[in-house]
A and B are shown apart, each in its own frame.
Chain A
Amino acid sequence: MRKWLVLLAIAGFAGLGIFWVLSAPRPAVAVPNAALEQGGDKDRGKIIFMAGGCASCHATPGQDDRLKLGGGYEMPSPFGTFYAPNISPHPQDGIGRWTVADLANALLAGVSPDGSHYFPAFPYTSYARMKLDDVKDLMAYMRTLEPVAGKAKTHDVPFPFNVRRSLGMWKLLFFDTKPLAAAPGASPQAQRGQYLVEALSHCAECHSPRNALGGIVSGRRFAGGPDPAGKSWNPNISQHPKALGEWTAKDIAGFLKTGFNMEGDVVGGAMGSVIKNMAELPEADLMAMGEYLKTLPSLEPTARPAKK
């Protein structure tokens, strides 16, 4: 009997040990990192910032200035409510003391400067595909913005989802850090579009169905699905005839710039906010996004629950 208990304890410790090893946060770059602190072009960084849609979540709601990144935007989800943090250059309340390497680890690995996992409400699952040079430029731009005092609310996430270490296991399942692979024969424009759509603008994060653990259902990227906040439906943006199949690349670019869809309707809400970001991009980039989206397969729309 005692022998079994001892064995059980050993197995338990071994299990814990394996969990601990597997779930460890793995930064993308070493800190400090002198090479990363050199250079950085703030004008190019502004394009990265707009394409990345940072302001849509991190600008404090209810203010006109989208460049005051005090945070506080509320994101309800099946796992709890997240509040976007302050990412203004404020030294105490924002990220004013961060190095470029800190930002790179947040974006590319979902790891904070103190070495813990971020919740994937922060879409590092897409940003992981960013180029390091773009992280540098982005930081150069963000350092020009106004520091905003005050921290955002802490996330209201109940047990067990509040155990940050368990996100290490989530990452093993759903976090793919492999660099983007261009489709064979993809034009340079479509490749630029792929980078914008997949790495920076993280379109699939909202326009895909998610499984019970919050991972994107494989093979259903861009097929649309329920909004994680539970109030609405994010449309299918694949090449299905009832999705973007009938749109040309130019239609997509024009929509991203103006917010007018093919029916003359003007989008509001979260996509309205995305349009504000997209309107700041060069037209060539918007066309590139259109070109890339046109190369995607046609996916049947995700089944919707019957209307009440």
Chain B
Amino acid sequence: MIRGLIVAGVVALGVSAVVAQTSVIKDRQDAMKQMGAATKGPGGMLKGTEPFNLATVQTSLRSIADAATKAQPLFPEGSGQGDTAAAPKIWQTKADFDNKMKGLAAAANKALADIKDEATFKTSFPEVAKNCGGCHTDYRLKRG
């Protein structure tokens, strides 16, 4: 009886660990999707396929800062297994990774303060986007 309970407990622990890990992967993927959705509008404006709109840019930057703040703690040690594109390098240089994620939130907030019109948008927004590309190069496995 007691042995049965212990076994059940161990199994439950194992299952909940897997569930927790799956959920952390999903949560950070959602945060990344939030960033992507937020970047779409300003991306189009930068490419010249969409007209400039200050309000959209500001909403987007707030959303990017929010998503980066949410995503940063969602890469706990051991969450590199499973259906994830997170590169093992994240946990090899975790301090750098965390700094970069915080750097993205800071860059988005700085751009929010700096961007007043289309001209300041064209100089400031790419500074935010640099953070995305830099991290994707080092810490994201290509989807494949």
Which chain A residues have a beta carbon within 8 Å of chain B's beta carbons? 226-227, 231-233, 248, 250-251, 253-255, 257-260, 262-269, 272-273, 275, 304
Query: Would you call B144 and A257 a contact (CB within 8 A)?
Result: no
Q: Which of B11-19, B36-44, B105-113 faces chain A?
A: B36-44
Q: Which of chain A's residues have a CB closer than 8 A to the CB of B49?
A: 248, 250-251, 254
Please tell me if B48 contacts chain A, counting CB pairs below 8 Å: yes
Q: Which of chain B's residues have a CB closer than 8 A to the CB of A250?
A: 47-49
Q: Which residue of B lies closest to A233 (CB)?
A: B144
Please tell me if B73 contacts chain A, counting CB pairs below 8 Å: no
Query: Would you call A260 and B43 a contact (CB within 8 A)?
Result: yes
Query: Would you call B47 and A260 a contact (CB within 8 A)?
Result: yes
Q: Which of chain A's residues have a CB closer than 8 A to the CB of B143?
A: 232-233
Separation of A267 and B129 alpha carbons in the complex (Å)? 10
By secondary structure, the B interface counts as helix
Q: Which residue of A lies closest to B136 (CB)?
A: A268
Separation of A267 and B43 alpha carbons in the complex (Å)? 12
Separation of A36 and B18 alpha carbons in the complex (Å)? 66
Query: Would you call B38 and A264 a contact (CB within 8 A)?
Result: yes
Please tell me if B3 contacts chain A, counting CB pairs below 8 Å: no
Query: Would you call A254 and B46 a contact (CB within 8 A)?
Result: yes
By secondary structure, the A interface counts as mixed
**A264 partner, pick from B37, B137, B141, beta carbons under 8 A:** B37
Query: Would you call B137 and A269 a contact (CB within 8 A)?
Result: yes
CB distance from B43 to the nearest CB of A (A): 3
Query: Would you call A266 and B47 a contact (CB within 8 A)?
Result: no
Q: How large is the interface on B (under 10, 10 to 19, 20 to 34, 35 or more residues)?
A: 20 to 34
Q: Please indicate which of the listed interface residues B37, B38, B142 has the most CB atoms of chain A within 10 Å of its own CB.
A: B142
Query: Would you call A266 and B48 a contact (CB within 8 A)?
Result: no
Separation of A264 and B140 alpha carbons in the complex (Å)? 16
Separation of A50 and B47 alpha carbons in the complex (Å)? 20
What are 10 A-B pairs with beta-carbon distances under 8 A? A232-B142, A250-B48, A251-B49, A253-B47, A254-B48, A264-B36, A264-B40, A266-B132, A268-B133, A269-B142
Separation of A142 and B45 alpha carbons in the complex (Å)? 35
Beyond A254-B49, A266-B133, A267-B136, whether A231 also contacts B43 by CB under 8 A is no
Beyond A250-B48, A250-B49, whether A268 also contacts B39 by CB under 8 A is no
- B114-144, CB < 8 A from A: 126, 129, 132-138, 140-144
CB distance from B39 to the nearest CB of A (A): 4
Beyond A268-B133, A269-B136, whether A263 also contacts B48 by CB under 8 A is no
Separation of A304 and B144 alpha carbons in the complex (Å)? 8
